[in-house]
Copies of this chain bind each other. A is one copy, B any other.
Amino acid sequence: MTASDRTRVLVVGAGAIGSFYGAILHRAGAEVSVVCRSDYEVVREHGFRMTSPLGDLSFRPVAVYAGMEECTQPPDYLLLCVKVLDGVDRVGLIRPAVGPETAIVLVENGIGIEREVAEAFPGNTVISGLGMVGVSRVGPGRIRHNHYGRLVLGDYPSGAGERSRKLGALLDEGGAGGEVTATVVAARWRKCLWNTAFNPLSVLGGGADTGTMTGSESTETLLRALMAEVVEVAAADGHPMDAELIDQYLERTRTFPPYRNSMALDYLNGRPLELDAILGNVIRIAEENGVAVPRLDTVYRSIRMLQDMQASEDGGPEG
């Protein structure tokens, strides 16, 4: 294999998840570059140090960029791994690096997050990806991969085209597992079913962990009711889910040791929340389909108020 044959990957947003999949693709022989703002100096100097049950995943990217404007050579795959936040223009962010043949891979949380990207790049393949991975940043350029790793992926809005299959094969080779599906939006709804109920509610609970949430009959009733609303919205969006999934999720959550989900951690650490990606978009899709979601809407507006309140106090929950 010559250098020119190697798949060129650009990871945009090399946080824990982005650098993990970068490492996996590097391991599979791809030529991986990263855009990495906060840890730029360290990563440029030393690459990523990464421990994992898979072995030492440390690697040195082919190129480390501090900003998108430096990315002049369009990659085969652009992995977008930034958070989906209000006021973050993801389309504008990646535009400099997207070439006509670039497949845009969204490794991000939430539902309905592909649409604006697909509309902005109608000629490009957009791949939607769901990282099923436990990974955390333990220091600048230092990542700990804890468990799992699978990336569920497929063409947006549907299909399992050549670009998705090739990426899946690379992820398999790299040891993480690439699970290609022709119905990735349905998979996203299934992940959303848990996230949309648990994540925002944990914020209203002051950063409640899963043990607190599933340990009370009152809260379990609320979780079930929120998930039932999500099931209705998904069905109206063309992605019916088996309502038994609700029981399964609660059951499975109870079998894990209590932990705080990503939104609870973001909240407790004063970081911005992916509230629209995970909850607001569900409400938007419900409105588009004439589905009433009073409980989801109540949670959404309550968190918005909490954020207003904290903004007016000029500090986070710990500020």
Interface on A for B, CB 8 Å cutoff? 201, 204-208, 212-213, 215-216, 218-219, 221-222, 225-226, 294-295, 297-299, 301-302, 304-306, 308-310, 312, 317
Contacts of A304 in B (CB 8 A): 216, 218-219
Chain B residue nearest to A211 (CB atoms) is B312
Whole-angstrom distance between the alpha carbons of A233 and B304 in the complex? 27
Tally of this chain's copies: 2
Are A302 and B206 in contact, CB atoms less than 8 angstroms apart? no
Whole-angstrom distance between the alpha carbons of A218 and B297 in the complex? 10
Chain B residue nearest to A304 (CB atoms) is B218
- Given A218-B301, A301-B219, residue A225 in contact with residue B309 (CB < 8 A): no
- Given A212-B309, A216-B308, A295-B294, residue A301 in contact with residue B222 (CB < 8 A): yes
10 pairs of residues in contact across A and B, judged by CB atoms under 8 Å: A204-B305, A205-B308, A208-B305, A208-B309, A216-B304, A222-B305, A225-B294, A226-B298, A298-B298, A302-B302
- Given A208-B309, A219-B308, A309-B206, residue A299 in contact with residue B301 (CB < 8 A): no
The distance from the CB of A257 to the nearest CB of chain B, in whole angstroms, is: 15
